[in-house]
C-alpha cells in the first residue's frame, strides 16, 4: 500500500493497494518509451494505476511496493531506478471530441513553455494565447500542438483517460501523436472499428482484473481505521461489501462512503446493501418474445380447428402481449441482485 491521504471524502483518498505487478509492468513500459493501454472494467482502478505510475516517473513516489513474485524478477534489487527528468508528463481528461482534446493539450503545452505563437500584442497570458488559437481552426491547432511537442527539450509522456471514447475522425491525430510522444491511456474496451486497428496495435497492454479478496479486505480495513464508520457489526458489513463489490475498488469506496454518511448502520441496513449500479443486465425480452410466438402458433392452429372462440382469444392475447412489451420494454431488462 502506498500514497495514503486523509481526505475528508474517502472517495478521494489516494491509498493504493495491490497492483504491484501491474504497476511494475506499466512503469517499465513507459520508461522504455512503449505506448501502453491499461484495460479493465469501469471502476477497476485504471486511472488510479496510471496516476501512481505518473507519480513514480515524476519522482513524487520513489518506491514501488513489490510482491515476492516481482522481487524474484528484480534479483534482490530494491526497486526500479527512476529518472524524474526523463519526460514532461501531462494528463488529458478529454480525449474526445477532438476540439476539447486540442484545447486541453494546448493549455498544458502553454504552461510548460512549449506552445510557441507569434503574437502582435504585448500580452502573452493564456487568455491572449487562447484567443489567438481560436482562429487557427482544427488543422492549424493540431500543427501548433505537434510543433510544441516536437520542439520540447524533453520528450512528452501524455496520459489519456478514456481513450476508447475517440471517434474515427481522430485517427490521423492519434497516429501523429504516437510518432512524437509516448502515450498511456485507460480503456474499458477497445473499439473494433477498422480505423482503430493500427492505433490499438501500437500499444502494449496491461490488463486489470478484480482485486483478490485479501487485498479487498486490506482496503476495507484501511478505511475502517481512517474514517468514521459507525457499524453495529463490522464483520457482517465487510462480508456484504466483499460480496457486492466483486473486487471492484470503486464500488468498495462508494459503498463505504455511503456508510460513512450514515450516523449509524444496524444489521438490517447492512443486509440491504447491494451494489447494482454497474451490474450486468439479463435481457428477458427474448423469452417474452418466444412466449408471444407460441401464442401466435396456437392462433394459427386454431384456424385449422374451426374454433372461432379460440381464434379470437389467442388474437386478443397476442395483441395484448405485443402491446405490453412495446410499452414496458424497460421492465424486461432484469438485473439480478448479488
Cell 478514456 belongs to 162
Question: Which of 46, 93, 56 has the alpha carbon at shortest distance from 250?
Answer: 46
pTM: 0.73
HSE-CB at 4 with a 13 A cutoff on CA atoms is 9
Mean pLDDT of 48-62: 84
**Cα–Cα distances in Å, from 119 out to 68, 122, 129?**
56, 8, 8
Residue 328 reports pLDDT greater than 50 = yes
Q: Which carries the bigger pLDDT value, residue 128 or residue 75?
A: 128
State the pLDDT at residue 122: 61
Minimum mean pLDDT among 21-30, 59-68, 272-281: which range?
272-281
Mean pLDDT of 195-218: 92
Identify the three-state secondary structure at position 272: coil
State the pLDDT at residue 164: 86
How far is Cα 184 from Cα 32, in angstroms, rounded to an integer? 12
How far is Cα 20 from Cα 25, in angstroms, rounded to an integer? 9
Cell 502573452 belongs to 124
Q: Which cell goes with 254?
A: 462508494
Residue 123 reports pLDDT greater than 80 = no
Residue range 80-101, pLDDT digits in tens:
567 777 899 999 999 889 999 9
The torsion defined by the Cα of 14, 17, 22 and 24, in degrees rounded to 10, comes to 80
For residue 97, cis peptide bond before it (omega within 30 degrees of 0): yes
Residue range 267-300, pLDDT digits in tens:
666 656 554 444 444 555 566 666 666 766 666 6
Domain at 19-207: CATH code: 3.40.50.300
Mean pLDDT of 108-128: 79
CA angle 22, 24, 30 (to 5 degrees): 100
R_g over Cα of the chain? 27
Write the burial class of residue 146 (CB in 10 Å: 0-12 exposed, 13-18 middle, 19+ buried).
Answer: middle
CA angle 152, 154, 156 (to 5 degrees): 85
Amino acid at each position: 500500500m502506498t500514497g495514503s491521504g486523509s481526505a475528508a471524502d474517502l472517495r478521494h483518498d489516494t491509498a493504493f493497494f495491490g497492483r504491484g505487478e501491474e504497476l511494475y509492468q506499466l512503469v517499465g513500459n513507459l520508461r522504455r518509451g512503449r505506448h501502453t493501454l491499461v484495460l479493465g472494467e469501469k471502476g477497476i482502478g485504471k486511472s488510479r494505476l496510471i496516476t501512481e505510475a505518473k507519480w513514480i516517473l515524476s519522482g513524487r513516489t520513489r518506491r514501488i511496493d513489490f510482491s515476492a513474485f516481482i522481487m524474484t524478477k528484480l534479483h534482490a534489487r530494491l526497486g526500479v531506478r527512476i529518472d524524474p527528468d526523463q519526460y514532461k508528463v501531462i494528463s488529458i481528461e478529454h480525449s474526445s471530441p477532438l476540439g476539447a482534446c486540442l484545447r486541453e493539450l494546448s493549455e498544458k503545452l502553454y504552461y510548460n513553455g512549449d506552445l510557441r505563437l507569434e503574437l502582435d500584442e504585448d500580452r502573452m497570458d493564456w487568455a491572449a494565447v487562447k484567443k489567438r488559437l481560436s482562429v487557427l481552426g482544427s488543422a492549424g491547432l493540431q500543427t501548433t500542438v505537434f510543433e510544441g511537442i516536437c520542439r520540447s527539450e524533453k520528450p512528452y509522456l501524455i496520459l489519456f483517460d478514456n481513450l476508447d471514447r475517440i471517434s474515427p475522425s481522430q485517427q490521423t491525430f492519434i497516429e501523429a501523436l504516437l510518432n512524437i510522444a509516448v502515450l498511456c491511456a485507460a480503456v474499458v474496451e477497445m473499439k473494433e472499428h477498422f480505423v482503430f486497428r493500427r492505433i490499438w496495435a501500437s500499444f502494449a497492454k496491461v490488463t486489470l482484473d478484480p482485486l483478490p479478496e485479501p487485498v479487498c479486505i486490506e482496503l476495507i480495513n484501511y478505511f475502517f481505521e481512517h474514517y468514521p464508520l459507525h457499524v453495529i457489526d463490522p464483520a457482517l458489513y465487510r462480508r456484504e461489501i466483499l460480496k457486492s463489490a466483486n473486487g471492484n475498488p470503486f464500488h468498495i469506496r462508494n459503498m463505504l462512503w455511503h456508510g460513512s454518511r450514515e450516523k449509524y448502520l444496524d444489521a438490517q441496513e447492512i443486509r440491504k446493501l447491494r451494489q447494482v449500479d454497474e451490474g450486468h443486465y439479463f435481457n428477458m425480452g427474448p423469452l417474452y418474445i418466444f412466449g408471444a410466438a407460441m401464442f401466435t402458433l396456437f392462433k394459427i392452429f386454431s384456424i385449422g380447428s374451426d374454433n372461432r372462440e379460440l381464434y379470437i382469444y389467442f388474437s386478443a392475447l397476442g395483441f395484448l402481449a405485443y402491446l405490453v412489451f412495446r410499452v414496458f420494454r424497460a421492465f424486461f431488462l432484469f438485473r439480478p441482485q448479488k
